Amino acid sequence: MTKIGIILGSTRPGRNGEAVAKWVHKIASERTDAEFELVDLLDYPLPHLDEVLPPTMGQYSQPHTLRWAAKIASFDGFVFVTPEYNHSTSGALKNAIDFLYAEWNNKAVGFVSYGSVGGARAVEHLRLIAAELQLADVRSQVALSLFTDFENFRDFAPGEHQLPVLQATLDQVVAWSNALAPLRAGAAA
C-alpha cells in the first residue's frame, strides 16, 4: 500500500498547524487508496543542521538524523502542512527538509498552507526546494486564509469549498506517488 506522510511543519507554541494537520489526516484516513500518517516535527527534534557531510552523500552520523531519515524513507509521498512566516515556510520545516536528500527523491509532494494570503508564498518557496530534492510537486494545493478559514485567527473552521480542494490534492499526491514507484525501485536496486 502506498504510504503518504503528512508533515506538520510548525513547532511554534500555540500553532494553528496542529488543527490543520489533524483535519488533513482525518480526511485522508477515510480514503482507501493509500495509508496516511501524521508526522509532527515536534516528535523529531532536530537542531540546526549539524551533519558534517552534505546530505547528498547519505552518510549521516547523528542519531537524530538517522531516526529522521528512517521515517522519511518509509514514505512514498508527502503532504506538507506549512504556515507562512515572512513570505516563506517555517524555519523548522526548512531545516528538517535540509537534513536529508535521497530519502526525498522520486516521491510526490502536495501542500496545505495557511496564512494571511493562504500561505501561497510559503508554498512557492517549497516548490523550488522540492525541485532540487527531486520531489514531484503536484499542482493542486489547499490555501487556507487566516481571515476566512479561522475564527479570530485561531480556531480552525475551514470553508466547505476547501474539502474538494484537499481531496484533489490527495488524489494527485497518491497518483504521482504510484507513478514514481518504478523510479524509487530503480534507485533502491
Assess whether pLDDT exceeds 90 at residue 189: no
Enter the C-alpha cell of residue 156: 480552525
pTM: 0.96
Q: What is the pLDDT of residues 27-53, one digit of tens each?
A: 999 999 999 999 999 999 999 999 999
Q: What pLDDT score was predicted for residue 77?
A: 98
Contacts of 18-27 with C-beta under 8 Å, sequence gap 24+, read 19/155, 19/156, 20/81, 20/112, 20/114, 20/144, 20/156, 21/81, 21/112, 23/156, 23/158, 24/79, 24/81, 24/112, 24/142, 24/166, 27/163, 27/166, 27/167, 27/170
Q: What average pLDDT does the structure give for the chain?
A: 97
53-98 pLDDT, tens per residue?
Answer: 999 999 999 999 999 999 999 999 999 999 999 999 999 999 999 9
Check pLDDT > 90 for residue 187.
no
Largest pairwise CA distance in the chain: 52
Architecture of domain 3-188 in CATH? 3-Layer(aba) Sandwich (3.40)
